[in-house]
Chain A
Amino acid sequence: MSPLRLVWKNIAGSAFRSWAVFLCALVVGGLLFSTVLLVRGAEDSLRLVQQRLGADVVVVPEGTGDRVETALLMGQPTKVWMPRQNLDRIGGVAGVAIASPQLYLASLANAPCCTAEMFVMAFDPQTDFTVTPWLNRHLGHNLGLAEAIGGSDVFVPYGEDKIRIYGSEIDLVGSLERTGTGLDTALFLTFDTAYAVADGSYTKAVRPLEIPPDSISAVLVQVEPNVDPRVVALQIAHDVPGVTAIPGSGLFQAFHTQAGLLSRIMAALLGTVSLLSLLLVGLTFSMAVNERRQEIGVLRALGATRRAVLHSLLVEALMLALGGGATGVLLAALVLYLFRNLIVASLMMPFRIPSVPSLLALAAGGLAVALADVALAVLLPALRASNLDPATAMRE
């Protein structure tokens, strides 16, 4: 008869108490894991998008910063225009190493069933530094005419081999990694392809694709080494009228703030749940210790030391906490993974499952908090039980 078997028998012997501790640990562990994962996932997503854009400064028409950010993060297409000549002015600002123009377009989605719009981003292959590095790495060449790459959620409909936008057939030659943002539903093609599609749309499409002449939507800027992007942004705003210049670090500030707010709300919720759980487990264990007074007295009479009684109660609680916490974390991970797209769509916030090492660290954290919560709750009742005078305990 091992002490562990004794513990296991005690767990099995009281369903209510065991389930109460198990479920409290499940809720605490799962809630911590999911709250931190949500916030971390949002931050990871934002970081990835900023990296993907690779821009030190993003220049957009004045007052359209928020719309452009929403387009990039939530995939809601937007049409913003500024004169093409801004490109030369921006390129001439001191500290600017590369200035690459982009066109932001909207297309009817490519499946016959669905009428949602798709975000189309046209880039200049000569100056682009956003998509081109990926193309060189994965395809070995830049995009040709009537070729495009898509975000991870862009697909060629069943039974077809090309994507159709505005009546023109486009070859989908690659898919980018998932970012958990609107870029996952975006299509990337060259300026030449975009103009070709626009020209063809007047005869082939239900409605034409109109690109104002000599217009661009945005300019992505890379600054020279050791130059502060914020200084360059200020200079661009000064030198080029009618534009907003956003330093890369300032991108998606609203979403960062939103993630921060979500983080605070979740922390408050977690704190409340942990406290309630602590009280419930503490109360349940106190009641259990009271019920088992005589039993504890008998065990002491049979030779169990005070330490053995304390140890047995703590191990019992921690085994339940470990089981409950692990189950909670697993359930939370499963739910967040399966419903990740729904989270993005309903919270209007980017979200991406972090890497496996991050996930494991978060899981360990969730489990640790569940264990600590339960350990704290049962410590006092367990100490009281172990210090019971055996003779008094056995007296009814």
Chain B
Amino acid sequence: MIKIEAATKTYALGRGVEIAATRDVDLEVARGEFLVITGRSGAGKTTLLNLISGLTRPTSGRVLWNGMDLWALDDAHRSALRNRQLGFVFQFPSLLPSFTVLENVVLPTAFGSNRRDPNVPGQAAALLQRVGMAGRRNAYPRQLSAGQQQRVVIARALINCPEVLLADEPTGNLDAETEREIIELFGELQATGELTALMVTHAPHLVPQASRVVEMAGGVLRAGG
């Protein structure tokens, strides 16, 4: 489903100095897989996710979605792909502070063709129910704990019924108990088999449902971890 071919991403730091966040990475992700990516800080894990999702362009190499080169598309098509086929869970608090919980969940629909779909509020409510946040739909992010916010982010990631869920250290800022709860939620969602999940985490042992674990070290991808 997703294929990365010899993807290298370098950043220019100025004065002719460049740093390679990833080097010649090859990766294939099958439909329905739960892939965990581990590695130390600065190993290139987040960059790998950004390459897969088209949030950053590879300096060399290709990123293919169902055989289609992501960077052969224009910005509008690439954005549409992210909107309909990808769901994101970030490590940092990514809810918009001026929007309520419900408004944050339906936010991705503002950029898609389903913006006027009357079923969207109902779908959002069902998702909030599923992540255990139904009673806080009118609350603002500042009134929620970090764990609660992350649950809402997961609901937002699923509003457009994506094929792929990308999670970058989704439990990085959470306490151990909340971390376990969030990982369990991921496992439940992925277990339906309709969702392909890629998760970056520093603690792969917390993800027993992972079908495969790979490790990033110095920008290079290694199997196992």
Contact = CB atoms under 8 A, between A and B. Distances in A.
Interface of A: 1-3, 5-6, 9-10, 12-13, 294-295, 297-308, 389-392, 394, 396
A1 B109 contact: yes
Q: Which of A10, A305, A392 has most B Cβ within 10 Å?
A: A305
Contacts of B76: 305, 307
A390 B56 contact: yes
Given A9-B103, A12-B98, A305-B76, A2 B111 contact: no
A89 B47 CA distance: 100
A391 B111 contact: no
11 contacts: A1-B110, A3-B110, A9-B99, A10-B98, A298-B88, A300-B79, A301-B55, A307-B75, A390-B56, A391-B50, A391-B55
Nearest to B77: A305
Contacts of B90: 298, 301, 394
Given A1-B115, A391-B50, A302 B92 contact: no
A1 B108 CA distance: 9
Contact of A301 (B46, B47, B82, B96): B82
Contacts of B116: 2
Interface of B: 46-47, 50, 53, 55-56, 75-76, 79-80, 82-84, 86, 88, 90, 92, 94, 96-99, 103, 106-112, 115-116, 120, 156
A5 B106 CA distance: 12
A396 B111 contact: no
A302 B98 contact: no
A109 B79 CA distance: 78
Nearest to B112: A303
Contacts of B55: 297, 300-301, 389-391, 394
Nearest to B9: A391
B140 to A, nearest CB: 10
A294 B84 CA distance: 21
A305 B56 contact: no
Q: Which of B50, B83, B97, B111 has most A Cβ within 10 Å?
A: B111
Contacts of B108: 302-303
Nearest to B156: A302
A298 B95 CA distance: 9
A303 B99 contact: no
Given A1-B115, A2-B115, A13-B98, A302 B103 contact: no
Contact of B82 (A5, A303, A392): A303
Nearest to A305: B79
A44 to B, nearest CB: 47
B214 to A, nearest CB: 20
Nearest to A396: B92
A391 B83 CA distance: 16
A301 B98 contact: no
A3 B50 CA distance: 25
A382 B135 CA distance: 37
A302 B88 contact: yes
Given A303-B82, A391-B55, A298 B110 contact: no
A176 B120 CA distance: 66
A288 to B, nearest CB: 13
Contacts of A295: 96
Contacts of A9: 96, 98-99, 103
Contacts of B53: 301
Nearest to A302: B108
B46 to A, nearest CB: 8
Contacts of A2: 110, 115-116
B166 to A, nearest CB: 9
Contact of A303 (B80, B94, B120): B80
A389 B56 contact: yes
In the A-B complex, the 9 residue pairs with the smallest Cβ-Cβ separation, listed nearest first, are A303-B83, A13-B98, A391-B56, A391-B50, A303-B111, A1-B110, A305-B79, A391-B55, A390-B55
B83 A294 contact: no
Contacts of A305: 75-76, 79, 111
B111 A308 contact: yes
Contact of B83 (A302, A306, A390): A302
A392 B107 CA distance: 22
B75 A306 contact: yes
A295 B82 CA distance: 16
B206 to A, nearest CB: 24
Given A302-B83, A391-B46, 8 more contacts: A2-B116, A3-B110, A6-B110, A295-B96, A300-B79, A301-B55, A303-B112, A394-B55
Q: Which of A2, A297, A390, A392 has most B Cβ within 10 Å?
A: A390
B61 to A, nearest CB: 16
Contacts of B92: 294, 394, 396
A302 B56 contact: no
Q: Which of A5, A298, A299 has most B Cβ within 10 Å?
A: A298
Contacts of A308: 79, 111
A183 B83 CA distance: 71
A307 B108 CA distance: 16
A42 to B, nearest CB: 47
